[in-house]
Structure 1
Amino acid sequence: MAVITRIELQMIDLIPKVKRVDAIQTFVSQETPFVTVYDSDGGVGTGYSYTIGTGGPSVMALLEHTLAPALIGKDPDRIEGIWRDLLFLTHATAVGAITSLALAAIDTALWDLKCKNAELPLWKAAGGARPRVPLYTTEGGWLHLETKVLVDDAVEMQARGFRGSKIKIGCDHISQDAARLEAVRAAVGDSYEIMTDANQGFTLSEAIRRARVLEDCGVGWFEEPLPADDVQGHVELSRRTSVPIAVGESMYSASQFKDYLQSGAASIVQVDVARIGGITPWLKVAHMAEAFNVMVCPHFLMELHLSLVCAVPNAKWLEYIPQLDSVTAAPMRIEDGQAVPSDAPGLGIEWDADAIAAKSVFSQTITGGA
């Protein structure tokens, strides 16, 4: 039986390709923790997670001092057991973002190692439901952009075969959001999907008010209309509008998704593999949503989520926000507006080790003698 003998930790800071502004924040950087796991048979697996500009050093400290040392000597194939052991090892800080992000970096590394040892791509090892998935783009829909820019980007992406665009909402007045959405709809026609995202920026009364505009524009969903911990607010909003309510990027446990699904507070689940704590809990949430006949459309991390949405049957879309091109040897494969997962064993991401090393702002190795 192979055991884990060494863990390498790194963190890089990626600057966004474009300016990204939503209703509550500006995305200024992506701190990206990496975990590389080595086993006694020579196997290697690499995983990662991310923060939007803050918290990365805290994630690395938890990995360095608590989680990575606990992996030494463990059987890397026991992914479920390891995940639960590490969760309870950090019970005083779970459920929470820092713990989940650290767990995700480890869990994705273990899945990468397992898939490589089995000579299977992740999308097949985790289910193999479909060989490709339609894309919608977020990169041209940020809140600070002028209406003409929104329209031009949507038209361009439609011409490239993309099936939809996400437009950030949360302008000072409802009329401004309405004008932006109406201009995009007029340009792309009725068959092109428009998603909207408020980034938790509204009160319940304002969300109900703006949902009427979204209905008139035929949008695909109303994403994060309210603070993520306001389950009952989302229940009330869901009762007041025909627009599907999408939530999930700001949730950190499967139980939080359970509460939303049982309450009828959301009809689209946007579980984020990094923020939920890895592939192991991501798959549980996706299958739980399937049992409720609810669609999964994950948030960000398109290069990793590509394999996961192709693994499960209830995922319709992949969000297009490129961020890893500077540290990978090849971009995500796109054909006629659809993303195609890699058939190479592992996560399906071809890392550029030299580029990662050059961008590293933290590096540490954990061994049995540490």
Structure 2
Amino acid sequence: MNASQNTGSSILDATTTTAHAAFADVTAGSRIVHVEAQLVDLPVETVRTDALQTFVKQETIFVRIRTADGTEGVGYSYTIGTGGGAVLSLLRETLLPALIGLEAERPEAVWLALFGITRATTVGPITALALAAVDTAVWDAKTRRAGLPLWVAGGGASPSIPMYDTEGGWLHLTVDELVAHAVASKERGMGGVKIKVGKPRGHQDLERLRAVRDAVGDDLDIMVDANQSFTVSEAVRRARLFEQVDVFWFEEPLPAEDIEGHRQLARSTSVPIAVGESMYSIGHFREHLQRGGASIVQPDVARVGGITPWLKIAHLAESFNAPVAPHFLMELHVSLVCAIPNALYLEHIPQLRAVTTDELRIEGGRGWAPTTAGLGIAWDDEALGRLIVS
């Protein structure tokens, strides 16, 4: 090596060293120095029933972190009535102590570190909900430090997303109430409505759906959701009934773990099968997609372990040419569906209005991603303080 080569190598080494030092300075400021978790009970905004249960309350688990440079991040996950204490215990006893010293600038590293110390309890809802509360807080801090809204940091595919309404489709509602809600949703510009199914007789479900279809016409999507309540044979039978009213998708027809049953159902009907709200790992989504058990995926950011795995699931679905329409949590999911290119719909179920100072922007039936840095959820700390359980 000649002298000029030595000089070039030295300059390159010096440049690399300087770049690493600058990066170390940036990430040093993102080191997590303070963590805390709380359990808050939120009352539901309206009576919500499906084929298997009633949504009693939203146990909401909050995680707050602070980095060395003073940036704060707030994350959350939820249950619909039970298990919140177990999630809180896992956080306080195991996960939060391990967070100290990790860098919010590196959510993948944080997620992997915490997943690594919970292998004995994964894959499952308690661990996934705990990981999600931390991961969303980390992403909140990371994007606040960067001065970017989550939807841009996650990919920035589109600033808005079409919405469909679930709030007017609960199983206990009368036919007249279903029709009134559907007509109102159409007038607000919503692209669709979801009707819960699972009445004792298939013709009862069909009568309710037909009344809605007759009222709204052909240019409003009607989704149906069985909440895992059917056997394979009954799901096949009801799907044939639902084809008569041009159902847009058939959601959770079977228990989530019955991948073969979903495959059989999908091959028997023209109605697209949607799954995902009761699935807790990227591998479960992969199996459904590989075996043809689903054509629409509905990951719930809380139930899959946070934003980090949610984005992987969305891009996995993209590789199968499958659209994403996430379950619940519209205030957070709006930013995620706006981040990805294969988003289909955002579900309209308001649940945070009692503990926030601002609402999701909905115009022309579309949800618009927040433009503020971070998750874009304006928490009302005073209101939350009144609802703390532990």
Structure 1 and Structure 2 fold alike (TM over 0.5): yes
Residue in structure 1 matched with residue 199 of structure 2 by the alignment: 171
Q: Deviations for 1:182-211, whole angstroms, at most 9, x for unmatched residues?
A: 000000000100000000000000000000
1:212 aligns with 2:240: yes
Report matched runs for 1:352-367 at 5 Å.
352-362=380-390
Give the 3-state SS of the residue equivalent to 2:327 in structure 1: coil
Report matched runs for 1:335-346 at 5 Å.
335-346=363-374
Amino acid of the residue matched to residue 53 of structure 1? G
Q: Deviations for 1:185-239, whole angstroms, at most 9, x for unmatched residues?
A: 0000001000000000000000000001111110110000000000000000000
Deviation at 1:78, TM superposition (A): 1.7
Residue in structure 1 matched with residue 3 of structure 2 by the alignment: none
Which residue, out of 280, 287, 292, partners 2:320?
A: 292
Q: Deviations for 1:291-342, whole angstroms, at most 9, x for unmatched residues?
A: 0000100000000000000000101100000000000010111111111111
Residue in structure 1 matched with residue 9 of structure 2 by the alignment: none
Distance 1:321 1:78 in 2: 31
Deviation at 1:157, TM superposition (A): 1.0
1:64 aligns with 2:89: no
Which residue, out of 41, 48, 51, partners 2:69?
A: 41
1:52 aligns with 2:80: yes
Aligned length: 362
The range that moved more, 94-103 or 7-16, is 7-16
| Gap regions ≥5 residues in structure 1 | 363-370
Deviation at 1:133, TM superposition (A): 0.6
Which residue, out of 308, 315, 337, partners 1:280?
A: 308
Distance 1:9 1:285 in 2: 27
Which residue, out of 294, 312, 322, partners 1:266?
A: 294
Amino acid of the residue matched to residue 152 of structure 1? A
Residue in structure 2 matched with residue 347 of structure 1 by the alignment: 375
1:96 aligns with 2:124: yes
Residue in structure 1 matched with residue 168 of structure 2 by the alignment: 140
Q: Deviations for 1:64-117, whole angstroms, at most 9, x for unmatched residues?
A: 000000001112212101101111201010000000000000000000000000
Residue in structure 2 matched with residue 107 of structure 1 by the alignment: 135
Distance 1:123 1:219 in 2: 30
Amino acid of the residue matched to residue 302 of structure 2? A
Residue in structure 1 matched with residue 269 of structure 2 by the alignment: 241
The range that moved more, 352-361 or 232-241, is 352-361
Deviation at 1:288, TM superposition (A): 0.4
Distance 1:117 1:225 in 2: 42
| Gap regions ≥5 residues in structure 2 | 1-27
Report matched runs for 1:150-189 at 5 Å.
150-189=178-217
The range that moved more, 273-282 or 13-22, is 13-22
Distance 2:288 2:206 in 1: 28
1:27 aligns with 2:55: yes
Amino acid of the residue matched to residue 100 of structure 1? A
Q: TM-score, normalised by structure 2?
A: 0.92
Amino acid of the residue matched to residue 64 of structure 2? T
Amino acid of the residue matched to residue 329 of structure 1? T
Distance 1:353 1:88 in 2: 32
Distance 1:144 1:296 in 2: 28
Q: Work out which of the two has the higher radius of gyration on C-alpha atoms and give 1 or 2.
A: 2
Give the 3-state SS of the residue equivalent to 1:246 in structure 2: strand
Which residue, out of 46, 71, 79, partners 2:107?
A: 79
1:121 aligns with 2:158: no
Q: Deviations for 1:92-146, whole angstroms, at most 9, x for unmatched residues?
A: 1000000000000000000000000000000000000001111100001000110
Higher relative contact order (CA 8 A, sep 6+): 1
Distance 2:157 2:101 in 1: 34
Amino acid of the residue matched to residue 361 of structure 2? R
Deviation at 1:9, TM superposition (A): 1.0
Structure 1 runs, 4 residues or longer, greater than 2 Å off: none
Deviation at 1:263, TM superposition (A): 0.5
Distance 1:283 1:139 in 2: 26
Residue in structure 1 matched with residue 251 of structure 2 by the alignment: 223
Give the 3-state SS of the residue equivalent to 2:35 in structure 1: strand
Deviation at 1:163, TM superposition (A): 1.1
Residue in structure 2 matched with residue 365 of structure 1 by the alignment: none
Amino acid of the residue matched to residue 244 of structure 1? P
Deviation at 1:41, TM superposition (A): 0.6
Residue in structure 1 matched with residue 23 of structure 2 by the alignment: none
Report matched runs for 1:191-202 at 5 Å.
191-202=219-230
Distance 2:363 2:125 in 1: 34
Amino acid of the residue matched to residue 245 of structure 1? I
Distance 1:8 1:276 in 2: 21
